[in-house]
Structure 1
Amino acid sequence: MKLIQLFTFLVMSFSGIVYAASGHDLKPVYGGAVAEVKDITFEFVATADSLLLYLSDHGKPVDISRSTAKATILQGAEKQEVELKTAGLRFEATGSFKIANAKVVVTVSQPGKAPVNVRFTLK
């Protein structure tokens, strides 16, 4: 009887580890596309006249005051590069953007760290 209890305990213990290691269910906070790279969650919100990028680390905003970001929007054969400026706790850009069914690559550079490329597919 004790062997069965030990086996059940071990199975339950390892199943918790597997569950914790599985992918996170990333949900948008601001209604955008979400991706995670190097434990940082990136949310990209795009409209025809504005681009917003939010960074968070386990739900807490990341300090971007000394960071830079650039978005490259790819729609068919067209390519548009946009500098994103810091605006409080987010990066933003305004203008005219073709975002329908576009793919976006965002490059974020933070002091003392290698640049990070994040890819989004917009609908």
Structure 2
Amino acid sequence: MKTLLLPLLFACLGAGSAPAVAADNHKGHDHGGKAASHSDQIKPAYGGVVTVVKDINYELVAKSDSLTLYVSDHGKPVDLKGASARLTLLSASDKADVTLGPVGERLEAKGSFKVAPGTKVAGQVTLPGGAPTNVRFTLK
């Protein structure tokens, strides 16, 4: 009896682990608007930090005197005429809300900003004809 149960047990255990292996192969992909975890693999084109939402790349370049957001779809700039972004910068002791407007092929705000490494940035980007998209960055 033991000789029949042992192979059956191994067969069941092997079949049960197959879905876990298959599910592991899909880590890092963007499904249904969730922020993709493979953003770290995308090389910034402008020296900023990148996040990807629904296959759209958002690259934030944060300087002490300007915030610039580049938006691209598979490497091609997105038309930002009529677009806007509202970002909140969060550091250990500071919170600042900033509105960015279109300037050519980017969204931009000028001013004085505290943009130290580790600053968290959360925001909403509204592209022409689209619903607002939530974006998040951590400055390096």
TM-score computed with the length of structure 1 as normaliser:
0.78
- Partner Cα distance (1:106, 1:58) in 2: 21
Of the candidates 32, 43, 46, which is equivalent to residue 27 of structure 1? 43
Q: Specify which structure has the bigger relative contact order, considering alpha-carbon pairs within 8 angstroms and separated by 6 or more residues.
A: 1
Residue number in structure 2 paired with 1:69: 85
1:103 to 96, 107, 120: 120
2:133 maps to a residue whose letter is: V
The corresponding residue for 1:81 is: 97
Q: Is the 8 A contact 2:87 2:99 kept in 1?
A: yes
Kindly provide the amino acid, as one letter, of the partner of residue 94 in structure 2. E
Match of 1:114 in 2: 131
Residue 70 (structure 1) shift: 1.0
Identify the structure with the greater strand proportion. Answer: 1
Cα distance in 2 for partners of 1:48, 1:77 equals: 16
Q: State the shift of 1:48 in Å.
A: 0.7
How many residues are paired up?
A: 105
- 1:59 deviation in Å? 0.4
CA RMSD of aligned residues (A): 1.8
Distance 2:130 2:93 in 1: 32
**Structure 1 stretches lacking a partner, 5+ long:** 1-17
CA drift at 1:105: 1.0
Which entry has the higher C-alpha Rg, 1 or 2?
A: 2
The farther-off stretch of 106-115 and 52-61 is 106-115
Q: Deviations over 1:77-117 (max 9, x none)?
A: 42100110110000011111011021001210123322101
How far, CA to CA, are the matches of 1:111 and 1:54 in structure 2? 15
Distance of 2:119 and 2:48 partners within structure 1:
13
Superposed, 1:37-52 pairs within 5 Å as 37-52=53-68
Structure 1 CA distance, aligned partners of 2:67 and 2:94?
Answer: 17
